Amino acid sequence: MIVITGADGFVGRHIVARLAAEGERPRAMVRGPERARRVLPANGVELAQGDTTRPETLDAALDGAETVIHCAFVVANRKQGPGVSYYATNVRGTKNLVAAAKRAGVRRIVVMGGLGTKPSRRDAYLQGRYEADEAIRQSGLAWSIIAPSVQFGPGSPFIVGLADLIRSMPVVPMIGSGGRTFQPIWVEDVVTCTLKMAREPDRYDGRTIEVGGPEIITYAHLLDLLMRTMRVKKLKLPGPVPFARIGAGMMELALPRPPITRAAIGLFTFDNVTDRDAVERNFGFQPMSLRDYLAQHGVA
């Protein structure tokens, strides 16, 4: 039995769909079954209502599970507000899940981490993700962490946010000079890596593996690529990171779903890259490039 937390989120729903398509019957742990039924396969999936921030909901959701794939994180592209807290979900929620997994006799946990997760300011988004990873490493469970660069695919928060920014602004603001680099990776390739980790514990347990796509691309070039795909031509306007944080804060105040948040600005302060051959070396296949994906599917 494989339980996927955050199963109706961006990565979680792709993992659930892959498992169902392969004939398994995954258990999808979600906060609200109504939304889950709209985005998850209708057949071959067991729904379990559970919320990592509410420990009392977890025992039933994990009953009989052998492996947990943990995707229930609030991503940086989502603003905080009532019922949405980076620390409560990402740190305390992960610790709650570890405790419940031990009670349920779960054998291993595979975590959807992020490339570049490291100690940071105590109130920073990345510090919370680092603390969540550390809670897994110190859990006493068999564990693996997959740490992808920014992901693309239908509904990708990162790509959708940039596309919304391009559409909504008369000029496209760049954070800094636009020279920071990313290594976008297709969500379906991340799913393949994650499931290999879950299914081959002898090879992957106790490892944190960073993965990225075959191309390393600057932020400025990424905006150009998206604008060409969208058939939009706008001026890019570079700006200091502190100004970008102010602008993101204003959008958070004004918009329910801002195209960029103050937390997401932190992802633009370091190069979000790893070895180009990380996927092939660790998982044995060549990932799809963002350029090829956009040529086939456009910006979804």
Residue 283 has pLDDT above 90, yes or no: yes
Residue ranges of the alpha helices (H) in the chain? Answer: 10-21, 33-39, 58-62, 86, 93-104, 125-137, 157-168, 187-199, 201-204, 219-230, 241-254, 262-265, 278-283, 290-297
Predicted confidence band at 122 (pLDDT cuts at 50, 70, 90)?
low
Alpha-carbon span 9 to 176, nearest angstrom: 30
* Domains recognised in the chain with CATH numbers: 2-151+187-212+273-287 (3.40.50.720)
Please tell me the predicted confidence (pLDDT) of residue 165.
Answer: 87
Please tell me the predicted confidence (pLDDT) of residue 116.
Answer: 83
Please tell me the predicted confidence (pLDDT) of residue 241.
Answer: 86
- The answer to whether residues 102 and 142 touch, using CB atoms and an 8 Å cutoff, is no
Q: For 221-230, write each residue's pLDDT tens digit.
A: 999 999 999 9
Please tell me the predicted confidence (pLDDT) of residue 33.
Answer: 83
